[in-house]
Amino acid sequence: SARSRGVLRAEQLSMVFGGVRAVSDLSFEVQPGQVTSLIGPNGAGKSTALNMLSGFYTPSAGRFLLHDASLQGQGACKVAREGVARSYQTSQLFGSLSVLDNVALALPRGRLGALLGRQAVCAPAARERAASLLRWCGYQGALSLKAGGLAHVDRRLVEIARALATDPEVLLLDEPAAGLSREDKALLAALLRRIAAAGIGVLLVEHDMALVMEISDHIVVLDAGQLLARGTPAEIQGNAAVRRAYLGE
């Protein structure tokens, strides 16, 4: 697609809530064309990190950049426009709209439709693009189904198609495999690899270690808000500090 994909750089990000340091001095990179996973025990600061990188939280200190432009403190809309897309743990789809319209409305040209009234009105080109994105993501159901009635895995696929409709450079995912069957996790894993192969930088927060080890190019381990280790899956699996803190050994 049209954008040249950049590296998302987190530089010494910190987030303090009241007196609690949820994230401390965190630096890492999300490379285009790679899956980078952010892992760590409950409360380690993973969601807080995603909330900073998607513009929902303004970091207490530090910054993050895409194409060397600082994005912290600019708000979620600006961060999304600059190319950092996010799919959420809880569904953000419009339940009463069709699967197709949910994706078409996220397309740059689809937004016009939202201004024309409560009914979604999307240009034929936007509908075609949305349909092909949905199929590319592996969605096999009817395009006219209301998103509110979707099965769990289909909702995930539609959410990802919707995030991709914004033509992002980086895609942030918060536990996309939660609640999926083993077969559906395999579909999701293949999709995330396909997204990376298309040149997008994927940042994955995920609890399923088998999935993380299978699909990650790079892993960042957080513990109590701090960077504990980073490396390839093999390096992380062999890291004694990680095994002690996280894998329970």
Quick one: which of 9, 33, 52 has its CA closest to 169?
33
Q: Nearest CA to 85 among 55, 41, 127, 42?
A: 55
Q: Which span (17-25, 63-71, 98-106, 186-194) binds ligand ADP, by CB under 6 A?
A: 17-25
Site string for Mg ion, 33-72 (x = CB under 5 A): --------------x-------------------------
> How far is Cα of residue 221 from the mean position of the Cα atoms in its chain?
17
Helix, strand or coil, per DSSP, at residue 126: helix
* Total binding residues toward Mg ion, as defined by CB under 5 A: 1
The count of chain residues that interact with ligand ADP, using the rule CB under 6 A, is 11
Mention every residue, 6+ apart, whose C-beta is less than 8 A from residue 5: 32, 33, 169, 170, 199, 200, 201
Span of 15-23, 71-79, 127-135, 153-161 interacting with ligand ADP by CB under 6 A = 15-23
Q: Please select the residue that binds ligand ADP; options are 40, 83, 110, 138, rule is CB under 6 A.
A: 40
Contact stretch for ligand ADP (CB under 6 A) within 38-46, 67-75, 139-147, 231-239: 38-46
What residue has token string 């390839």? 232
> Do 66 and 248 contact (CB within 8 A), yes or no?
no
Q: Does 24 bind ligand ADP (CB under 6 A)?
A: no
Contact between 42 and ligand ADP (CB under 6 A)?
A: yes
106-109: which pairs have CB atoms within 8 A and are 24 or more residues apart?
Answer: 106/162, 106/163, 106/165, 106/166, 107/165, 107/166, 108/166, 108/167
Q: Of the two residues 17 and 109, which places its CB atom closer to Mg ion in the complex?
A: 17
Q: What whole-number distance in Å separates Cα of residue 180 and Cα of residue 89?
A: 12
Shorter beta-carbon distance to ligand ADP: residue 43 or 231: 43
Among 28, 37, 46, 219, binds ligand ADP (CB under 6 A): 46
Q: Which residues bind ligand ADP (CB under 6 A)?
A: 17, 20, 22, 40, 42-48
